Amino acid sequence: MTGTPTTRSLGLAWPWRLLLAVLSGVLLALAFPPVGASLLAPVAVALFVIATYRTTAWRGAALGAVQGLVSFAILIRWMTVVGGDAWLLLVALCAFWIALVGAGQALVTRLRWWPLWVACVW
């Protein structure tokens, strides 16, 4: 590897990427009511993109699952009124879709014009 900007990754270790995914999930949840700090949504997405930047698809999926589990566990806690099992199932189902986004982001960040492709993945 030559270390050119087109081939070099951010070099973030797995624990830092995991921390970014968790932080992204918390910030994304805070962007919606009842807090409603909508300006946090782009920050959350940016942190998630940094976390998945040029990693493997499997790691991107794992980071997406973490981000999705954190954000949806906070966002749809009202579902516990129906039942804890229904809440857990819905959180897992919603997190699955974010895991797919994470895998997609990990793959397209290797391409030319990757910001455009990341937007397409979302």
pLDDT of 6:
42
Per-residue pLDDT of the chain (122 residues; tens, 9 = 90+): 444 444 456 789 999 999 999 999 999 999 999 999 999 999 999 999 999 999 999 999 999 999 999 999 999 999 999 999 999 999 999 999 999 999 999 999 999 999 999 999 99
pLDDT of 9:
64
Residue 3 burial (10 A CB sphere; 0-12, 13-18, 19+): exposed
pLDDT of 1:
44
Spatial CB neighbours of 46, under 8 Å, sequence gap ≥ 6: none
Domain boundaries, the chain: 14-121
